[in-house]
Amino acid sequence: MAENVKQLAVGDRLPPHLIGPITRTTLALFAGASGDHNPIHLDIDFAKKSGLDDVFAHGMLSMAYLAQLITRWVPQSQIRSWEARFTSITPVGAIVECSGHVTEIFEADGEKRARLEITSSVQGGAVTLAGFAEVAIK
Amino acid sequence: MIDRSVIGKSWPVKAIVPEEGALRFFAKATGETNPIYSDLKAARSAGYPHLPVPPTYLFSLEMLAPSDSFWLDDLGLPLEKILHAEQSFEYRNMVYAGEKLTIETRISDAYEKKGGLLEFYVREMTIRNSNGTECAILKTTLVVRHG
Same domain? B93 vs B128? yes
pLDDT at A18: 98
B40 and B106 co-located in one domain: no
A110 has a pLDDT exceeding 70: yes
Give the mean pLDDT of B62-85: 87
Let me know whether B41 and B88 are in one domain: no
Mean pLDDT throughout A79-92? Answer: 97
**Domain parsing of chain A, residue ranges:** 2-22+59-136
Tell me which chain A residue has its CA closest to the CA of residue B22.
A33
Q: Which residues of B touch A (CB under 8 A)?
A: 22, 25-26, 28-32, 34, 52, 54-57, 59-60, 62-64, 79-80, 83-91, 94, 139
Instruction: Print the domain residue range for B32.
Output: 19-52
Straight-line distance from the first to the last Cα atom of chain A, in angstroms, rounded to the nearest whole number: 11
The end-to-end CA distance of chain B, in Å, is: 14
Mutation target for A interface from B56, B88, B90, B125: give the one with most A CBs within 10 A. B56
Contact A83/B89, CB-based, under 8 Å? Answer: yes
User: B81: buried, middle or exposed (CB in 10 Å: 19+, 13-18, 0-12)?
Assistant: middle
Number of domains in chain B: 2
Q: Which residue of B has its CA nearest to A72?
A: B34
CA distance B67 to B62: 9
Whole-number pLDDT of residue B81: 86
Q: In this complex, which of A34, A38, A68 lies closest to B79 when CB atoms are compared? A: A38
Residues B63 and B127 in one domain: yes
Among A34, A67, A72, beta carbon nearest to B55: A67
CB-nearest partner of B87 from A70, A79, A83: A83
Task: Kindly report the nearest CA distance between residue B90 and chain A, in angstroms.
Answer: 4
B58 with B41, same domain: the answer is no
Residues of chain A contacting B28 with CB distance shorter than 8 Å: 29, 33
B76 plus B111 within the same structural domain: yes
**What's the ipTM?**
0.95
Query: Is A87 buried (19+), middle (13-18) or exposed (0-12) by CB count in 10 A?
Result: middle
Distance from CA of B9 to the nearest CA of A (A): 22
Do residues B39 and B76 share a domain?
no
- Give the nearest partner residue to A81 out of B31, B64, B90, using CB atoms: B90
Indicate if B69 and B46 belong to the same structural domain.
no
* CA B1 to mean position of chain CA atoms: 28
Q: Supply the CATH number for residue B89's domain.
A: 3.10.129.10
% of chain B residues with pLDDT over 70: 100
> Cβ of A64 and B56 within 8 Å?
yes
* Same domain, yes or no: B30 and B89: no
Neighbouring-strand partners of residue A136: A113
The CATH code belonging to domain A2-22+59-136 is 3.10.129.10
What confidence tens digit (pLDDT) does each residue in B77-120 have? Answer: 888 788 999 999 999 999 999 999 999 999 999 999 999 999 99
pLDDT tens readout for residues B7-30: 999 999 999 999 999 999 999 999
pLDDT beyond 70 at A2:
no
Question: Do B27 and B13 fall within a single domain?
Answer: no
Task: Starting at the earlier edge strand, list the strands of the sheet with B14-16.
Answer: A17-19, A96-108, A111-122, A127-136, A79-86, B82-91, B134-145, B118-128, B101-113, B14-16
Question: Does residue B28 sit in the same domain as residue B79?
Answer: no
